[in-house]
Amino acid sequence: MKQFVIGKNDAGQRLDKFLTKAVPLLPQPLLYKYIRLKRIKLNRKRCEISTRLQEGDILELYINDEFFEAPPSEQAFFRAPSDITVVYEDENILLVNKPAGLIVHEDDKEAFDTLINRILKYLYEKKEYDPAQENSFVPALCNRIDRNTSGIVLAAKNAAALRVLNQKIKDRELKKKYLCVVHGQMPKKEETLTAYLRKDSDKNQVKVFDRPVPDGRTIKTAYRVLAKKGDLSLLQVDLLTGRTHQIRAHMAHIGHPLLGDSKYGKNRSDKDLGYRFQALCAYQVTFAFATDGEVLEYLNGRTFTLSEVDFAKKLFGYYI
């Protein structure tokens, strides 16, 4: 028999959702069968799949040991550095400045040194996260940016903050602004561009069109020129829609690819100049809640901005 005591970060979940995360080796058909047979009990009573768990509940599983994973001798995040640049932190959330070149989650090339693993290591060392004390929750990123893009990434430290942040991002109640360097001089000091974007998932690439196309989605990109130097321009960009590679592809489409962009830009010549990553940074985020921010309401109206961005400082002497 295995017993779970429902903690604060587990509360509010449906029973089946909790069990899927807490006992990942248990197949769903068996999960449902064991609930029907009362081999899974909540507070020593029969329970339903849709039962909402409450803090302090006791969940008992009378099932075979084979479905319980042995505790890993070493969590993956233990092998990551705890080197992060904190932009803002409180008991609920963490804003960090991700450097260009660091991936946010593991992929087939990198399993340990990722942004989320660095954050987990940081919180573990601060004694704010211990996997041995959690049944189903792990601190998580709420937004992601490309490996070769730098800037602010938001992480939730607890389940309540994660739920609110994910919903606010979905409802577009967090506003992000970007800095980028493009080739050439822009035709206007500021402008809002409209086009149509189609994604090729197999190539992880997008194409932009001036007119509607099948499977294309409308994109709107607002820019303002902040500085010029030779054949380069520093732009502030506001995404009025949020599509894959939108800034990079849209700017390339109008003839002003980002400096250092290996996918949509002048990759060979930029590399020769020493620019390995696209000059693109998510440098500002504003909490602009249109509805109740619940546990994060105290953040409503606040803006967090990076004090400087490397490529803007290096190329234009531009401080924010």
226: which 2 tokens? 């902040």
Residue 100 is given by DSSP the state T
Most distant CA atoms of the chain, gap in Å: 74
Buried/exposed 181-204: b ≥16 CB within 10 Å, e otherwise = bbbeebeeeeeebebbbbbeeeee
Nearest by Cα to 150 from 117, 178, 121: 178
- What is the DSSP annotation of 264-316? TS-HHHHHHTT--S-SEEEEEEEE--SS--GGGGGGTT-EEE-S--HHHHHHH
DSSP lists the bridge partners of residue 105 as none
Angle between helical axes of 28-36 and 15-22 (0-180°, round to 10): 130
Q: Report whether 180 contacts 146 (CB < 8 A).
A: no
The residues, any chain, with a CB within 8 Å of residue 159's CB and separated by 6 or more, are 8, 9, 10, 11, 12, 137
Residues taking part in catalysis: 146
Task: Tell me the C-alpha distance between 3 and 67, whole Å.
Answer: 13
Q: Which residues pair with 61 in a beta bridge?
A: 2, 40
User: CB of 19 within 8 A of CB of 40?
Assistant: yes
What gap in Å lies between CA 114 and CA 147, rounded to an integer?
A: 10
In three-state secondary structure terms, 260 is coil
Contact predicate 247/227, CB 8 Å: no
